[in-house]
Amino acid sequence: MPDTFEPHNIIVTGGCGFIGSNFVRWVAREHPGVHVTVLDKLTYAGNPANIAGLPESQVELVVGDICDADLLDRLVPGHDAIVHYAAESHNDNSIANPEPFVQTNVVGTYRLLEACRKYNVRYHHVSTDEVYGDLALDEPRRFRPDDPYKPSSPYSSSKASSDLLVCAWHRTYGIRATISNCSNNYGPYQHVEKFIPRQVTNILCGIRPKLYGTGENVRDWIHTEDHSRAVWDILTKGRIGETYLIGADGERSNIEVLRQILSIMGQPEDAFDWVRDRPGHDRRYAIDPTKLREELGWRPIHTDFSEGLAQTIEWYRSHEDWWRPAKEATEVKYAAQGQ
Ligand code: NAD
Ligand code: TDX
């Protein structure tokens, strides 16, 4: 039977990033009795505007680094759970400069686990399906929770390392922890460095979208709101010490997604550039979410990808003031990499 847990006062790390802020806004709306302390360093990927307008009585922002043990000593006591989203999250950046990935994703997770041990706080660890490596394009298999870890990039290996720390801290010190590994998220507030926002904002700027390699690589897309609900279900009903995979049967090749974006935005289907492939580029991710569905009864709500994509494109159209400040620097960085 699942353990049940009723959180009242939680810390959400990385709550000013894409997925973390969607989770914070979802909790504020769906569980108004829960207080959320957002702990975020506000790196290039963190933006306080992502959680602006939420009631101060419900959501408080603390600007700081998860690697700062003294800060955690001041902040963590009195909270009943940490939901850990903060990370360096972009594969291409990790290939160019792995150091901050090891620091934030590995050392940062270690510091949070130590704080949970010291103050007996429940911990949920948000991770990625990339820890399992990749699948062939034509094999029927999908990732399952007990598959071996085989990460490919500095990013995914740093996330895999952090997952293993959680398992060890649970087994050795009895930390009350759960892990979730989710597939590719899409939706509002995603940084313009990522695939879908990059292509959408390129088109809005009159720049041709950029497709890596052959474009055949497959990603398993899930709307970020469905991810938020799954994390909440795992936090409140998941079994301690367990790993749950989160996915919504959303497998699509990159070229298919790009053609859908071009079509929704009224562009010819070949109006894009082929660019240099990502070194070590994972071919395919695919999640088998059976455990999450059967144990916790979770189901995705956003099952129509075309509709979710059209809404996301509309969000970028109407929030140019949000993405414009990051756009130029992001494209300069890509151009220097030949991408
Ligand atoms: P993001 O890059 O949009 O946001 C990361 C947030 O973490 C930012 O607000 C940043 O300021 C903050 N941060 C970074 N370093 C920090 C530090 N040292 N201390 C405190 N805050 C720090 O990332 P995202 O795409 O929202 O991903 C969130 C989490 O979800 C990550 O753990 C990622 O591995 C995981 N995940 C992402 C996806 C995806 O599709 N994007 C899929 C599965 C899992
Ligand atoms: O311009 C691009 N052109 C392109 O073809 C970009 C930015 C990406 N791509 C390809 C690479 C990938 O096959 O699109 C796919 C998606 O790329 P990203 O958005 O960079 O995501 P990915 O590398 O799959 O990782 C994402 O999902 C898992 C998140 O960034 C991770 O944080 C998460 O763990």
Q: What is the pLDDT of residues 66-89, one digit of tens each?
A: 999 999 999 999 999 999 999 999
Among the atoms of ligand 1, which is closest to the Cα of residue 155?
34
Q: Does residue 319 fall inside a structural domain?
A: no
> Active-site positions?
129-130, 155
Asked if residues 40 and 108 have their Cβ atoms less than 8 Å apart, the reply is no
Q: How many domains does the chain have?
A: 1
Q: What is the DSSP letter of 107?
A: I
**Residue (of 121, 113, 93) closest to 9 by Cα position:** 121
Ligand 2 proximal residues by C-beta, below 6 Å: 89-91, 128, 130, 184, 194-195, 198, 210-212, 217, 219, 254, 278
Task: Please indicate, yes or no, if residue 31 is contained in any of the structural domains.
Answer: yes
**CA-proximal residue: ligand 2, atom 34 (nearest):** 128
Tell me which ligand sits closest to the C-alpha of residue 90.
2
> Which of 66, 89, 93 to probe ligand 1 with, by most ligand atoms within 8 A of CB?
89
- What is the number of the ligand closest to the CA of 202? 2
pLDDT for the residue 2: 59
Probe residue for ligand 2, chosen from 84, 127, 149, 184 as the CB with the greatest number of ligand atoms within 8 Å: 184
In a domain, 71, yes or no: yes
CA nearest 127: which of 237, 230, 253? 230
Q: How far is the CA of 283 from the centre of ligand 1 (A)?
A: 22
pLDDT of residue 3: 73
Could you please report the per-residue DSSP string of 173-236? H---EEEEEE--EESTT--TTSHHHHHHHHHHHTPPPEEETTS--EEE-EEHHHHHHHHHHHHH
What residues line ligand 1, using a CB cutoff of 6 Å? 13-14, 16-20, 40-43, 45-46, 65-67, 85-89, 104, 108, 126, 128, 159, 182, 184-185, 191
Mutation pick for ligand 2 pocket among 18, 157, 195 (CB with most ligand atoms within 8 Å): 195
Pick the atom of ligand 2 nearest to 281's CA. Answer: 13
**335: in domain:** no
Determine, yes or no, domain membership for 219: no
Q: Which atom of ligand 1 is nearest to the CA of 20?
A: 26
User: How far apart, in whole angstroms, are the C-alpha atoms of residue 119 and residue 206?
Assistant: 52
Q: Is residue 98 in some structural domain? A: yes
User: Is 172 a member of any domain?
Assistant: yes
Q: Is residue 203 part of a domain?
A: no
Which atom in ligand 2 lies closest to the alpha carbon of residue 159? 34
Q: Note down pLDDT in tens along the chain; length 339 residues.
A: 557 999 999 999 999 999 999 999 999 999 999 999 999 999 999 999 999 999 999 999 999 999 999 999 999 999 999 999 999 999 999 999 999 999 999 999 999 999 999 999 999 999 999 999 999 999 999 999 999 999 999 999 999 999 999 999 999 999 999 999 999 999 999 999 999 999 999 999 999 999 999 999 999 999 999 999 999 999 999 999 999 999 999 999 999 999 999 999 999 999 999 999 999 999 999 999 999 999 999 999 999 999 999 999 999 999 999 999 999 999 999 999 999
pLDDT, tens digit, for every residue of 198-240?
A: 999 999 999 999 999 999 999 999 999 999 999 999 999 999 9
Structure-block tokens of residue 161: 């390392």
pLDDT of residue 278: 98
Given the DSSP bridges, would you call strands 218-220 and 210-212 parallel, antiparallel or unpaired?
unpaired
CB contact at 8 A, 239 and 294: no
Three-state secondary-structure class, residue 299: coil
Q: What per-residue confidence (pLDDT) applies to 333? A: 96
Q: What is the span of the domain harbouring residue 125?
A: 9-187+224-250+284-302
Quick one: which atom of ligand 2 is closest to the CA of 92? 20
Taking the centre of ligand 1 as the mean of its atom positions, its distance from the CA of residue 14, in whole angstroms, is 6
CATH of the domain at 298: 3.40.50.720
